[in-house]
Amino acid sequence: MTALGIREVSEHTGLSIDTLRWYEREGLIPLVERTSTGQRRYPPAAVRFIALVQALRRTGMPVAEVRHFVQLGGGRLENHPVRLALLEAQRESIERQVDQLHEDLAVLTGKMAEYRRLIDAGLDCEDEVAAPEGGTGRHLRSTA
């Protein structure tokens, strides 16, 4: 009844229609039904599942691993601990990614501060004065 067509799901999730079909072929999206004429229908459970798949993909889980997760059967009890463990592993991966992002952010902000300082002082860069085809070392000693 509340099941959606592929276009609606595409708009709702931001995944392209082709990607939705491809994911399904690849075994990442179960629970998709068909009309009598063969068109896809996505019941709410499928739509919810897609949100999970998107979270896994966006956080860097490869398609093959998502498939593995999905193949852990139709929500049967004995597989829950396994799925839980996979999600836990991914959760840890996400936390590492956040840490890494913060480190990289620090690198960028550091570099940005350097550029601002140089702009203020009216200097070229300390590093990389790599033969700009005109004349070298026109920059002065740093003020600090």
Partner DNA sequence: GGTTGCGCTGGAGTGGACTCCAGCGCGGAG
Partner DNA sequence: CTCCGCGCTGGAGTCCACTCCAGCGCAACC
* Residue 15: CB atoms within 10 Å: 20
Among the listed ranges 7-15, 19-27, 34-42, 93-101, the one in contact with a copy of itself (CB under 8 A) is 93-101
Instruction: Pick out residues in 31-70 that bind DNA (CB under 7 A).
Output: 36-40, 57, 62-64
Tell me phi and psi for residue 34, to 5 degrees. Answer: -130, 150
Closer CB to a copy of itself, residue 37 or residue 119? 119
Options 35, 45, 62, 71; binder of a copy of itself; rule CB under 8 A = 45
- What gap in Å lies between CA 116 and CA 91, rounded to an integer? 37
Closest-CA residue to 8 (of 32, 28, 36, 38): 32
CA distance 107 to 90: 25
What's the closest the beta carbon of residue 21 comes to a copy of itself, in angstroms? 18
Residue from 131, 135, 141, 143 binding a copy of itself (CB under 8 A): 131
